[in-house]
């Protein structure tokens, strides 16, 4: 190599542009904290859940639940995910309900808050996703199927027992979950007994398990299968007795649980007779699966049926939901009784609005009046949906509360 020439004193140590480049290269190393902060800022830009929860859950956010479940021979991955996707919404709603419901609140306010959360978290308000069935808010002797109608003003009291029944659906796959709240310690034993009975049913469930093992709840209630858009399984639905049933006989096939199906383990307990009757003003309705095609005399009844088909299909709905979608003609008729029907009156249930009655009478729409035990008794309910997978059973939404 030739010897290097001496550098004149007048020449700078480095060209200005090289100095700028060196400074830029050294800049990140000079302030690594700022760079890390920018990276962290980008990572934390994801939307945070609000309180009450109103940010949609289009992807599962729970780490242990985000793992892909094993697939069975007849179910693709998206179908498994659709069955399990409503679980995040249901879990967050249960947490919020436990935190926010207090004596002194009206049942209408509670129902509207819960259902607004369902629609927001499921990111839907119709047949694709949203409310699986009317939110059940059943107080004391009212065991099931009560949700406030427009104009109702019942208020939750300190000594009440409240059963909260929440339904979330995605693509018709319904997650059914219920629990009981009480602010009176004397009823805690009833709540504990019913919760233990539900856990017993879950423990005994499995592929091939018989559906007739006994516990001690309200005898007229049953668990049930859940099929797409049918909370009680539609034409192929199976009931899961909560008490011991009569022997089917050696010639009768045994009803067993099957793989790739959702089952609701639903247990009720009571301090009363342990049997319920239909009483009071009806709020729950559902179009019957494969309903018969019958001629309808009232034009308003035909319009109402089109509204039901468009917005609910065979999903259960409440009269409040008809108000919400702008269907008001069902309210045109006067009540059969000129006074509100109290639950303790023991008056047989009659549909109070003719358009709904014209759909109920021929078997197009089913009505589900409140189910009530004897007056003065207290009832409790706990319910989970389980999914029988090929390799295991899964409690679809187990939480810290239940």
Mean pLDDT of 102-130: 93
CA-CA distances (angstroms) from residue 141 to 151, 158, 315?
22, 15, 26
Q: Where are the domains of the chain?
A: 282-369
DSSP 271: S
Whether 274 and 219 have beta carbons less than 8 Å apart is answered as yes
128-142, 179-193, 347-361: the lowest-pLDDT one:
347-361
Instruction: Tally Cβ neighbours within 10 Å of residue 79.
Output: 16
Query: Which of the two residues, 25 and 288, has the higher pLDDT score?
Result: 288
pLDDT at 81 over 60: yes
Band of pLDDT at residue 111, cut at 50, 70 and 90? very high
DSSP 127: S
- Any idea how long the chain is? 402
Counting Cα atoms < 13 Å in the Cβ hemisphere of 282 gives 23
Cα–Cα distance for residue pair 229/232, rounded to 1 Å: 9
Query: Which of the two residues, 387 and 324, has the higher pLDDT score?
Result: 324
Mean pLDDT of 125-137: 93
Note the pLDDT tens digit of each residue in 114-123: 999 999 988 8
Mean pLDDT of 326-348: 48
Mean pLDDT of 280-307: 89
Whether 391 and 205 have beta carbons less than 8 Å apart is answered as no
Cα–Cα distance for residue pair 17/22, rounded to 1 Å: 9
In this prediction, what percent of the chain has a pLDDT beyond 70? 61
Mean pLDDT of 250-266: 60
Query: Which of the two residues, 66 and 53, has the higher pLDDT score?
Result: 53
Burial (CB count within 10 angstroms: exposed 0-12, middle 13-18, buried 19+), residue 85? buried
pLDDT at 158 over 80: yes
Q: Which CATH architecture has domain 282-369?
A: Orthogonal Bundle (1.10)
CA-CA distances (angstroms) from residue 340 to 22, 33, 84, 127, 153?
84, 68, 41, 33, 12
Q: Please give the backbone phi and psi of residue 399, each rounded to the nearest 5 degrees, phi first.
A: -130, 180
Cα–Cα distance for residue pair 303/301, rounded to 1 Å: 5
Q: Please list, in sequence order, all residues whose beta carbon lies within 8 angstroms of the beta carbon of residue 50, skipping any fewer than 6 positions away.
A: none
């Amino acid at each position: 190599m030739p010897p290097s020439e001496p550098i004149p004193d007048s020449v700078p140590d480095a060209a200005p542009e090289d100095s700028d480049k060196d400074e830029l290269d050294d800049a990140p190393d000079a302030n690594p904290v700022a760079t890390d902060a920018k990276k962290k800022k980008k990572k934390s830009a994801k939307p945070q859940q609000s309180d009450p929860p109103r940010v949609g859950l289009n992807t599962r956010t729970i780490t242990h639940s985000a793992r892909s479940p094993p697939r069975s021979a007849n179910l693709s991955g998206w179908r498994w995910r659709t069955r399990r996707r409503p679980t995040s919404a249901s879990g967050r709603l249960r947490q919020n309900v436990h935190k926010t419901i207090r004596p002194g609140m009206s049942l209408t306010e509670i129902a509207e808050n819960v259902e607004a959360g369902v629609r927001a978290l499921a990111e839907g308000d119709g047949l694709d996703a949203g409310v699986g069935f009317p939110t059940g808010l059943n107080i004391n002797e009212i065991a099931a199927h009560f949700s406030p109608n427009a104009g109702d003003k019942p208020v939750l009291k300190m000594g009440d027992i409240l059963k909260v029944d929440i339904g979330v659906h995605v693509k018709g796959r319904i997650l059914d979950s219920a629990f009981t709240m009480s602010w009176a310690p004397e009823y805690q034993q009833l709540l504990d007994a019913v919760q233990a009975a539900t856990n017993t049913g879950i423990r005994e469930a499995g592929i091939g398990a018989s559906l007739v093992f006994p516990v001690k709840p309200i005898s007229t209630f049953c668990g049930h299968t859940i099929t797409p858009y049918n909370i009680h399984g539609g034409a192929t639905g199976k009931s899961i007795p909560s008490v011991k049933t009569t022997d089917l006989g050696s010639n009768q096939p045994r009803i067993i649980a099957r793989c790739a199906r959702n089952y609701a383990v639903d247990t009720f307990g009571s301090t009363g007779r342990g049997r319920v009757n239909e009483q009071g003003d009806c709020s729950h309705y559902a179009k019957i699966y494969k309903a018969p095609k019958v001629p309808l005399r009232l034009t308003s009844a035909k319009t109402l049926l089109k509204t039901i088909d468009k917005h609910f299909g065979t999903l259960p709905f409440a009269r409040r939901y008809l108000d919400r979608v702008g269907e008001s003609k069902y309210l045109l008729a006067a009540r059969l009784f000129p006074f509100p029907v109290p639950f303790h009156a023991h008056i047989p249930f009659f549909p109070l609005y003719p358009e709904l009655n014209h759909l109920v009478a021929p078997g197009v729409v089913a009505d589900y009046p409140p189910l009530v035990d004897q007056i003065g008794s207290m009832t409790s309910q706990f319910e989970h949906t389980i999914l029988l997978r090929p390799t295991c059973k899964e409690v679809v939404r187990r939480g810290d509360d239940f």
